[in-house]
Amino acid sequence: MTTNSPVLQTFEKFVIPNYKRYPVCLVRGQGSRVWDADGREYLDFFPGWGCNLLGHCPPRVVEAVQRQVAELIHVPNTWHIESQGEWARLLSEHSFGGQAFFCNSGTEANEAAIKLVRLHGAPDRYKIITFQGGFHGRTLGATSATAQPKYHEGLGPLVGGFRYAPFGDLDAVKKLIDDQTCAILLEPIQGEGGVRIPTQEFLAGLRQLADAHQLLLVFDEVQTGMGRTGHWFAYQHFGIQPDVMTLAKALCSGIAGGALLTTAAIAPSLRPGMHAATFGGNPIAAAAGIATIQTIQEENLLAHAQQMAQIFATRLQGMAQRLPVIREVRQVGMMIGLELICKGAAVVQQCLDKQLLINCTQSTVIRLLPAMNIQEDEIQRGCDVLEEVLGHVVSQS
Ligand SMILES: *Cc1c(COP(=O)(O)O)cnc(C)c1O
């Protein structure tokens, strides 16, 4: 798009500029490919910021949503809808049992978790331990839980009661626990923080601490959940079960939806009247959520994602050996971070110029969140572009 394009002009005039947007207007997508208004095709290694884990417009989800909108768009949670119960059952059966609360986004799921653990710990316990480099969303509670000073600037006073520990430091967590602590909240793999993968021992240690001090262990699986890691949920990759889990992003394949799951023993703490979400678990989200789970099952996508992750791993490890600009490759399934020795913004721009969509987080980490149903030739093609661009970065520096 040129700078005098009507789309850009309308944005400039009427849309609050809180996002840094590229001058590209996307109009259509299918699988791991998207097209812009000028008809240019892009290969998408970051579809929907992690929301489109089944790629753009997965047919079962499209069909389920189309059918649903013609039948019933919204009903409040004063009534029962069969699909919401069915969705909860499927999530429960694929995770640790228990029950679901539905909302519309990741930050809302975490707000529900914050309220739940406080209600469960009331009246004496309210403090929650979270981790540096974590990310939990943009509402004030979730922002306060997010231990990254850059997201707090100018917002004070924040919601009280959060205590921050270095990610991976069990001793620090131990020291922060007191009589008022009710929970430990973390992403089992930090996403926005740069695809930081903890050791199994760290998560096991947190589980032990939580049990010893009767704290609730909350996993924010908003980015890691629904198959991203090659398992339904990242906690299954590590074999460490949380008491509470939050989900969103890929939960409904791109339709807005969020959920909190917890055990049947803890669930009653979120008692009637204490929490709600008007749109939570609505018929469209439920239809999309169910179709998402069915697609993963019926198309065997966990196994496919594990295979494709191996192809990524081989390509990226090779790249890292050839190109010193790559400091480290971190990957679990379809969650990939390439730590560079320099800033990554130019890499993202140059990939965009070559019609490959990627992301950079924490300024030096190239992040890829590819679709689970990506195909091998797409991986090879995108990695060719990435390698060419990264090779260019080296020769420039
Ligand atoms: C994206 C993200 C959130 C926030 O989700 P929203 O839907 O944008 O509110 C929370 N936690 C994690 C781990 C995320 O990646």
Three-state secondary-structure class, residue 46? coil
Instruction: List residues near ligand 1 (CB under 6 A).
Output: 105-107, 110, 135-137, 187, 191-192, 220, 222-223, 248-249
Quote the ligand 1 centre to 396 CA distance (angstroms): 35
Q: What is the pLDDT of residue 51?
A: 98
Structure tokens at 180: 């008022």
pLDDT per residue rounded down to tens, the chain (397 residues): 887 899 999 999 999 999 999 999 999 999 999 999 999 999 999 999 999 999 999 999 999 999 999 999 999 999 999 999 999 999 999 999 999 999 999 999 999 999 999 999 999 999 999 999 999 999 999 999 999 999 999 999 999 999 999 999 999 999 999 999 999 999 999 999 999 999 999 999 999 999 999 999 999 999 999 999 999 999 999 999 999 999 999 999 999 999 999 999 999 999 999 999 999 999 999 999 999 999 999 999 999 999 999 999 999 999 999 999 999 999 999 999 999 999 999 999 999 999 999 999 999 999 999 999 999 999 999 999 999 999 998 666 5
- In degrees and rounded to multiples of 5, residue 289 shows phi and psi of -65, -45
DSSP 159: P
Domain ranges of the chain: 28-57+300-396, 72-298
Across the chain, how many H-helices and E-strands are there?
Answer: 12, 15
Q: Mind giving me the DSSP string for 311-373?
A: HHHHHHHHHHHH-TTEEEEEEETTEEEEEESS--HHHHHHHHHTTEE-EEETTTEEEE---TT
State the closest ligand 1 atom to the C-alpha of 249, by its place in the atom list counted from 1: 7
Q: Does 3.40.50.12140 match the CATH number of domain 72-298? A: no
Quote the ligand 1 centre to 324 CA distance (angstroms): 32
Which residue out of 103, 222, 332, 361 has the highest number of ligand 1 atoms within 8 Å of its CB and is therefore the one to mutate? 222
Q: What is the pLDDT of residue 1?
A: 83
Residue with the two structure tokens 């080296």: 394
Contact in structure between 32 and 371 (CB atoms under 8 Å): yes
In CATH terms, are 28-57+300-396 and 72-298 the same topology?
Answer: no
State the closest ligand 1 atom to the C-alpha of 256, by its place in the atom list counted from 1: 7
Highest CATH level, class, for 28-57+300-396: alpha beta
CA distance 381 to 129: 42
Q: Which residues contact 119 (CB under 8 A, 6 or more apart)?
A: 269, 270, 271, 274
Q: What is the pLDDT of residue 394?
A: 65
State the closest ligand 1 atom to the C-alpha of 107, by its place in the atom list counted from 1: 9
- 288 membership: H or E segment, kind and range: helix 283-298
Q: Is the pTM of this model over 0.95?
A: yes
Quote the ligand 1 centre to 43 CA distance (angstroms): 24
* Alpha helix (H) residue ranges in 95-169: 106-121, 140-145
State the closest ligand 1 atom to the C-alpha of 258, by its place in the atom list counted from 1: 7
Which residue out of 52, 221, 249 has the highest number of ligand 1 atoms within 8 Å of its CB and is therefore the one to mutate? 249
Residue nearest to atom 15 of ligand 1 (CA): 223
Residue 137, CB-side half-sphere exposure with 13 Å CA sphere: 26
Q: Is the dihedral of CA 170, 174, 175, 179 positive or negative?
A: positive
